Amino acid sequence: MSQWGHDFRPDYLALGDLDERFPGVPRMALTATATKATHRELTERLRLPEARHFVASFDRPNIQYRIALRQAQGPQGARGQLLRFIQSVPELVDGPDARSKPAGIVYALSRKSVEQTAEYLCAQGIDALPYHAGLPAEVRAANQSRFLRDDGVVMVATIAFGMGIDKPDVRFVAHIDLPKSVEGYYQETGRAGRDGDPAIAWMAYGLGDVVQQRRLIDQSPGERAYKMRMQQHLDAMLALCETVACRRQNLLDYFGQESSPCGNCDTCLEPPETFDGLVPAQKLLSTIVRLQRERGQAFGAGHLIDILRGADTERMRQQGHERLATYGIGADLTDQDWRSVVRQLLARGILIPQGEYGTLALGEAAGAVLRGESQVPLRRDTIGRTVKAKVRKAAAADTLGEEDRELFEALREWRATTAREAGVPAYIVFGDATLRALAEHRPGSWDALDGITGIGAKKREAYGEAVLEVIAGA
């Protein structure tokens, strides 16, 4: 109701009529991510003024949040960046001796990106599967079944994947495109680490994401109030990306929950460097003003950066822009530095994209910046910046020694075979927490299994003898 009803499913807004059509029938509204504004909207539209609201904590302390600047260059660019992250996950969540291949979800906006990313990961030795609405139903069902059943499968998907998925041992959720809202981001990252073990929410984004998302909002068929609300959602998402403070604190604050710095996100573990961006911002805004007033022209980020850096290009000479007063006054910053400045000014509304081609114009806050009346603190992006800190566990540490880890891996292999033969997901047999407890305590008898977490009477009856055989043979 709150999201789709204003855009492509307007009939959802009529759900309030249920009160008149079925008087006296109990109604309940449920959502995983409701801000105070969403609470008010649902209460009003569903005509539930006397409804009681139950809100649980939004904090998932076992998830480590990481947001990185997307790399446009280097080995395979952004996909190579994703690959290196996936390859690092075992060590980050299990330690340097980890040998298991973690299950994960990679979210992309387009079907084409899903398929290309899945193909690339497969070519690099990752067991990756695609999932989007354009695939045949039987392919989607088969891929989903494999993801739920087998260990170490990575699902590359659009947001069509995930509703109703209850795989507890997803060790990472990665976004290679900027989500449209904090609510969507929270729901999608929340599919990681449902077993309480360490997990990572990783995202890479760049300047193109900001321009594309703002353009999609402008082109939406929704009413003006809806577009404004979507812009607010995007602004909150960008604020999470660009913050120099604790990401978890920013995320929880969005949902109205107070917290302190978590010590388990990238900005806590390795605080980013900041600098005074007033002068670079003024140089960029002045260039836009001069082009518009003197020539009636508007350009995108690439050409504006070329002007500021004094680039000698054919397009520059054709336009005569080497004669602008601001030509070359920004040569002290690299191309990547300027792209970071543009992205952050867009995130703050100091710049706004316009039209189909994403040319840049001045936002409402630009005037105060040009007059020097507003501070512009910016974060200094470091390409390839990686936080190598191990993910903090939600509970007490349970790191296994070398011998115990060998038994743990043997139990994982037994579990995979057993689950495959039964046609059920691996976690239905036993969760990783149970396998770790078995590896650590090494029960040697039927009765000793009673003290192991996750083993009740039914599980002991079904798998007890087989588990004791694996332990005895290790």
Give the pLDDT score at 389.
Answer: 57
Residues 348 and 365 reside in one and the same domain: yes
The CA distance from 42 to 119, in Å, is: 41
Residues 12 and 98 reside in one and the same domain: no
Query: Is residue 386 a part of any domain in this protein?
Result: no
Integer distance in angstroms from the first to the last C-alpha of the chain? 54
Domain boundary among 234, 269, 304: 269
Phi, psi at residue 184, to the nearest 5°? -65, -40
Helix (H, G, I), strand (E, B) or coil at 408: helix
DSSP state at residue 64: E
The CA distance from 172 to 149, in Å, is: 17
Residues 351 and 466 reside in one and the same domain: no
Query: Is residue 389 a part of any domain in this protein?
Result: no
What pLDDT digit, counting tens, does each position of 176-215 carry?
999 988 988 998 999 999 888 899 999 998 888 888 888 8
Q: The whole model's pTM is what?
A: 0.75
Host H or E run for residue 242: helix 224-242
Residues 217 and 135 reside in one and the same domain: yes
Give the pLDDT score at 396.
Answer: 34
Residue 129 β-bridge partners: 155
The CATH number given to whatever domain includes residue 462 is 1.10.150.80
Give the pLDDT score at 96.
Answer: 57
Residues 206 and 106 reside in one and the same domain: yes
Give the pLDDT score at 15.
Answer: 85
Cβ-Cβ contacts under 8 Å for 395 (sequence gap 6 or more): 196
* pLDDT < 70: residue spans in the chain: 1-9, 72-76, 95-99, 163-164, 356, 382-400
Residues 86, 87, 92, 96, Cα dihedral to 10°: 170
* Identity of the amino acid at 442: R
DSSP string, 262-274: -S-BHHHHSPPPE
Query: Is residue 396 a part of any domain in this protein?
Result: no
Give the pLDDT score at 98.
Answer: 62
The CA distance from 108 to 154, in Å, is: 13
Domain boundary among 252, 269, 286: 269
The CA distance from 235 to 381, in Å, is: 19
Residues 191 and 309 reside in one and the same domain: no
Residues 286 and 307 reside in one and the same domain: yes
Give the pLDDT score at 56.
Answer: 83
Structure tokens at 120: 């690339």
The CATH number given to whatever domain includes residue 255 is 3.40.50.300
The CATH number given to whatever domain includes residue 348 is 1.10.10.10
Q: Among positive and negative, which fits the CA dihedral 366, 371, 377, 382?
A: positive
* Identity of the amino acid at 456: G
Residues 363 and 255 reside in one and the same domain: no
Q: With helix as H, strand as E and coil as C, how does 81-108 read?
A: HHHHHHHHHHHHHHCCCCCCCCEEEEEC
Residues 21 and 68 reside in one and the same domain: no
- Total structural domains within the chain: 4
Residues 282 and 370 reside in one and the same domain: yes
Residue 147 β-bridge partners: none
Give the pLDDT score at 384.
Answer: 47
Domain boundary among 235, 269, 303: 269
Residues 326, 331, 332, 333, Cα dihedral to 10°: 100
The CA distance from 423 to 357, in Å, is: 50
Q: Helical H runs in 108-166?
A: 111-123, 137-149
Query: Is residue 55 a part of any domain in this protein?
Result: no
Give the pLDDT score at 147.
Answer: 92
Nearest Cα to 436, choosing from 422, 419, 415, 457? Answer: 415
Structure tokens at 191: 């599919």
Query: Is residue 57 a part of any domain in this protein?
Result: no
Residues 232 and 294 reside in one and the same domain: no
Residues 196 and 153 reside in one and the same domain: yes
Structure tokens at 100: 């298991």
Query: Is residue 78 a part of any domain in this protein?
Result: yes
Query: Is residue 50 a part of any domain in this protein?
Result: no
Q: Which domain holds residue 370?
A: 274-379
Query: Is residue 237 a part of any domain in this protein?
Result: yes
The CA distance from 289 to 297, in Å, is: 9
Residue 320 β-bridge partners: none
